[in-house]
Amino acid sequence: MNRREFLEKSLALAVGTSALLLPGKTGRALGVVVSGPADLAAVRGGEPEDMFDRGLAAMGGMKRFVSKGQTVVVKPNMAWDVRPELGANTNPALVERIVRRCIEAGASKVYVFDHTCDLWKRSYVTSGIEEAARRAGATVVPADQARYYQKAPIAGARILKETLVHELVLQSDVFINVPVLKNHGGAGLTIAMKNLMGIVWDRGEFHSRGLHQCIADLSLLRKPDLNVVDAYRVMTRSGPRGTSERDITIRKAQVLSTDIVAADAAAAKIFGTEPNSVEYIRQGEALKAGTMDLNRLKVERIAL
């Protein structure tokens, strides 16, 4: 055994079960340098802000995604008029850190919005995201009226050939998708692909025409430049709205990837679900929106 092999084995033992057990070509544990940016970073054991910074560094830093003068859309899940402790919405501390890093990278404008399920003004406030995003320098905008949406075709879609999409997603230079991992009564899980339903006007057609296929189709419209899955507080039942902290498991995890299907596959594993058991993840791969085979990717696992 050479010195490099010894160090890698020692570091792997030190990390132990605290590392995310996700497959990938690198097989690298905490502290081992990955050559070039990772395709996917899986982080565990820290606060949302710290996990994001470590994962982002593994992905090549924010300047890989945001250049000076660009406009950015940061799309969290803030659909529900419930407090952060219930895990129905993205962690506000994570959204705040992402906005700050975009502005530090030179973004001229960072927009934050969601087409909410509950009353938007209350959801924005109760989720804690509006205050956090504004504190970091974002412009928080509504998404509650049809006039904010433009018809957009979806090349390669099987059912959802076109839909009305929030104009900022179509116009901005950079799109960062920030879902929360949780149980969902209709889709099984809601993660990155399903979070895109918050950029469209008519969610009803998804349910009437085939929820899973429409979710997969929408992932072809504009692939996010970066997906950041919040798996700090994971709602394991009663989703998507949630009613009790008894439904929450603290996982203190996060997944970052440029591949939306891979992000969902990795997050599904964190939840304890095999990705191929989630229909829209399978269909997303079939449409070539991404891959759920993490062995094909350069994966960096980080334990804090």
As a whole number of angstroms, the distance between CA 217 and CA 238 comes to 26
Q: What is the CATH number of the domain that holds 268?
A: 3.40.50.11440
Per-residue pLDDT at 154: 98
Per-residue pLDDT at 220: 98
Judge residue 192's burial from the number of C-beta atoms within 10 Å of its C-beta, 0-12 exposed, 13-18 middle, 19 or more buried. buried
Host domain of residue 62:
3-303
Query: Tens digits of per-residue pLDDT, 228-241?
Result: 999 999 999 989 99
| DSSP conformation class of 34 | P
Identify which of 190, 159, 162, 180 has the alpha carbon closest to the alpha carbon of residue 278.
190
Please tell me whether residue 146 adopts helix, strand or coil conformation: helix
Q: Are 193 and 264 in contact (CB under 8 A)?
A: yes
Query: Tens digits of per-residue pLDDT, 72-116?
Result: 999 999 999 999 999 999 999 999 999 999 999 999 999 999 999
Per-residue pLDDT at 242: 82
Q: Are 25 and 296 in contact (CB under 8 A)?
A: yes
Judge residue 246's burial from the number of C-beta atoms within 10 Å of its C-beta, 0-12 exposed, 13-18 middle, 19 or more buried. exposed
Q: How many domains does the chain have?
A: 1
Per-residue pLDDT at 22: 60
pLDDT under 50 in the chain at which residues? 1-19, 21, 23-34
Per-residue pLDDT at 210: 95
